[in-house]
């Protein structure tokens, strides 16, 4: 047996050995042509397998090498490369001392559906899927511009997950693209299966409660981020896309803001910022006033408050923490249960538990109102991740208000502002355009100006100096 024949057998056997104990692996042998096919059937397109590969071996060919030398077949001689391509949906054809790879990746995926987590009143209803190619098509369908560039990466030593970075050349800062690319290439992690895991590795401050990278499942919103000069990431197997650099204000912006008349959109956006202050400070203010600052409560309200708290055996701080935790338990239970049951549990549970707690003397009715208003305000925040982070911050502010009164409340809010202002991504302030102040960008972020004015505004260009 010649050395070339030993090499041919060794190449096929090494491939099968690396993929041993894989009962889902398909290995077809064609004795007429002395050809072996190795692939995973559920990763390849049945049509491509039948029309482009199997039909080649239905009849005898005098020159198989010439046929396999077509551009659609790529010759590989390294076992590691062959196995990698098979795992990525290629069909390996072993013939004449070599392996030829044919790309036929077409796994089963769900159809494009509307988003359940980021619903809008008007505008497009489609959302990303777990297919990277489908998600790219949703972006390309909206941005038909040759300046839209796509960089390909493979991350995760075990998962080998495909990641694409998208940006508009000339709008996105090239130094930001380079920095983010270097950060991704330096990642040394075995498993990456979800975008929300990836953004935790890419976030500059690992201990901040506030999300530092924006995520969404809406193609229209992500396309708008690209046009604003942001860098977008799409991960294979994940429905969520991310965009960076991100500011704090972006988490309070909704796609509906651009689909509604500008006075309505501006009023609603300002209302969300007011809701932020309410959900952070309303319950904490109740605890602070009832514990230390009775003199700040109007006399008529103070009398009702004293009557309400007459039977409550706990301090306002314990009372508030107990009710806030009850609300969070109801919220979590409603999110984990099926949709129809979850909404019922959240509504009925809140009414029943609140009424029972007041009648049993566990809490006062005014606290129930405070907690309910804080909870409702948190629902006004479009981003679920930001809403969850703010709810955790609220517990810290309530504790400070219960221990130090109004001083603790003000200190907690001030510390939160200082902590957020210290966050940076690519040397850009997280609180931009508020700190540092950039009034030219207020028309698109603090309020939503008329579209005629927005069209004339200068495109978003990151300002590293913050001036």
pLDDT digits (tens, 9 = 90+) for 55-81: 777 666 667 777 777 767 888 888 888
Cα–Cα distance, 431 to 380 (Å, whole number) = 20
Q: What is the mean pLDDT of residues 27-47?
A: 85
Nearest to 247 by CA among 232, 230, 264: 230
Task: State which of 53, 88, 103 marks the end of a domain.
Answer: 103
Q: Are residues 139 and 223 in the same domain?
A: yes
Looking at the domain assignment, is residue 438 inside a domain? no
Establish if 118 belongs to a structural domain: no
Nearest CA-CA partner of 214 in 248, 255, 180? 248
296 and 392 fall within a common domain: yes
Place of tokens 């960089």: 151
What integer pLDDT is reported at residue 403 of this predicted model?
A: 93
Is residue 294 in a domain? Answer: yes
Question: Cis (ω within 30 of 0) for the bond into 322?
Answer: no
Condensed to tens digits (0 to 9), the pLDDT of residues 398-436 reads: 999 999 999 999 999 999 999 998 888 888 888 888 877
pLDDT (0 to 100) of residue 415:
93
Same domain membership, residue 237 and residue 264? no
Q: Which of 23-32, 40-49, 390-399 has the highest mean pLDDT?
A: 390-399
- Number of domains within the chain: 3
90 and 66 co-located in one domain: yes
How much is the pLDDT for 177?
92
Q: What is the four-CA torsion angle of 405, 406, 411, 416, rounded to 10 degrees?
A: 100
For 353-367, what is each residue's pLDDT tens digit? 777 777 777 788 888
The answer to whether residue 290 sits within a structural domain is yes
Among 452, 440, 321, which Cα is nearest to 392's? Answer: 321
- Looking at the fold, whether 146 and 99 belong to one and the same domain comes out as no
Instruction: Assess whether 268 and 212 both reside in one domain.
Output: no
What pLDDT, on a 0 to 100 scale, did the predictor assign at position 58?
A: 66
- Mean pLDDT for 142-160 is 89
Q: What is the pLDDT of residue 50?
A: 84
Given 51, 83, 103, the domain boundary residue is: 103
Residue 119 in domain: no
Average pLDDT over the chain reads 84
For residue 314, name the pLDDT band (cuts at 50, 70, 90). confident
pLDDT for 166 = 93
Q: Out of 5-14, 184-193, 442-451, which region has the weakest mean confidence (pLDDT)? A: 5-14
Average pLDDT of span 330-357? 71
291 and 409 assigned to the same domain: yes
Q: Which of 277-281, 328-332, 417-421, 459-463 has the lowest mean pLDDT?
A: 459-463
Q: Same structural domain for residues 280 and 378?
A: yes
| Per-residue pLDDT, 60 | 63
Residue at which a domain ends, from 205, 220, 246: 246
Looking at residues 150-160, what average pLDDT do you find?
A: 89
Are 11 and 154 part of one and the same domain? no
- Residues 175 and 281 occupy one common structural domain: no
- Decide if 117 is inside a domain: no
CA distance 402 to 287: 6
Selected residue with higher pLDDT from 114 and 245: 245
Considering the domain boundaries, does residue 122 fall inside one? no
Q: Which domain holds residue 8?
A: 3-103
Q: Which pLDDT value is given to residue 462? A: 43
Average pLDDT over residues 154-172: 90
**Which pLDDT belongs to residue 344?**
63
Q: Is there a single domain that holds both residue 313 and residue 378?
A: yes
Phi and psi based region of residue 225 (left: phi greater than 0; alpha: psi -120 to 50; beta: remaining): alpha
Q: What is the DSSP letter of 76?
A: E
81 shares a domain with 197: no
Does residue 315 sit within a domain?
Answer: yes
In DSSP notation, 417-441 reads HHHHHT-EETTEETTTTTTTT-GGG
Work out the percent of the chain whose per-residue pLDDT is above 70. 91
Preceding omega of 433 cis (within 30 degrees of 0): yes
Tokens of 405: 């009164």
Whole-Å CA distances, 352 to 311, 313, 342, 345, 363 = 19, 21, 15, 10, 13
Lowest-confidence segment of 29-33, 220-224, 284-288, 440-444 by average pLDDT:
440-444
376 versus 96: the higher-pLDDT residue is: 376
């Amino acid at each position: 047996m010649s050395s070339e024949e030993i090499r041919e057998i060794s190449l096929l056997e090494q491939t099968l050995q690396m993929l041993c104990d894989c009962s889902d692996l398909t290995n077809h042998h064609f004795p007429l042509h002395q050809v072996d096919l190795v692939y995973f059937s559920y990763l390849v397109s049945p049509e491509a397998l039948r029309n482009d590969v199997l039909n080649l071996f239905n009849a005898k060919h005098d020159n198989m090498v010439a046929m396999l030398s077509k551009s659609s077949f790529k010759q590989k001689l390294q076992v590691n490369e062959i196995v990698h391509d098979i795992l990525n949906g290629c069909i390996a054809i072993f013939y004449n001392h070599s392996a030829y790879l044919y790309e036929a990746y077409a796994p089963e995926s769900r159809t494009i559906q509307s988003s359940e987590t980021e619903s809008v009143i008007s505008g497009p209803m489609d959302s990303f899927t777990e297919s990277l190619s489908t998600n790219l098509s949703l972006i390309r369908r909206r941005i038909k511009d040759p300046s839209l560039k796509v960089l390909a990466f493979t991350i995760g030593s075990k998962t080998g997950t495909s990641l694409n970075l998208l940006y508009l050349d000339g709008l996105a800062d090239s130094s930001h693209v380079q920095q983010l690319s270097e950060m991704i290439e330096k990642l040394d992690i075995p498993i990456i299966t979800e975008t929300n895991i990836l953004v935790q590795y890419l976030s500059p401050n690992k201990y901040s409660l506030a999300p530092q990278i924006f995520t969404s499942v809406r193609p229209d919103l992500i396309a708008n981020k690209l046009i604003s000069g942001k860098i977008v990431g799409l991960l294979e197997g994940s429905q969520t896309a991310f965009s960076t650099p991100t500011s704090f204000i972006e988490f309070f912006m909704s796609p509906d803001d651009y689909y509604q008349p500008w006075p309505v959109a501006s009023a609603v956006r300002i209302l969300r910022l007011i809701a932020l202050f309410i959900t952070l400070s309303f319950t904490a203010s109740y605890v602070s006033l009832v514990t230390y600052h009775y003199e700040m409560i109007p006399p008529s309200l103070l009398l009702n408050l004293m009557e309400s708290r007459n039977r409550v055996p706990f301090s306002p701080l314990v009372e508030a923490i107990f009710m806030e935790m009850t609300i969070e338990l109801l919220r979590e239970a409603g999110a984990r249960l099926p949709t129809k049951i979850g909404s019922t549990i959240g509504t009925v549970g809140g009414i029943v538990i609140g009424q029972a707690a007041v009648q049993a003397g566990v809490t006062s009715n005014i606290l129930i109102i405070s907690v309910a208003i804080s909870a409702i305000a948190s629902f006004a925040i479009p981003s679920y991740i930001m809403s969850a982070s703010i709810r955790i911050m609220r517990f810290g502010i309530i504790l400070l208000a219960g221990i130090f009164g109004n001083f603790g409340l003000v200190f907690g809010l001030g510390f939160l502002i200082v902590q957020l202002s210290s966050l940076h991504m690519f040397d850009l302030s997280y609180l931009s355009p508020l700190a540092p102040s950039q009034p030219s960008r207020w028309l698109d972020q603090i309020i939503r100006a008329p579209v005629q004015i927005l069209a004339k505004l200068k495109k978003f260009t990151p300002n590293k100096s913050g001036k």
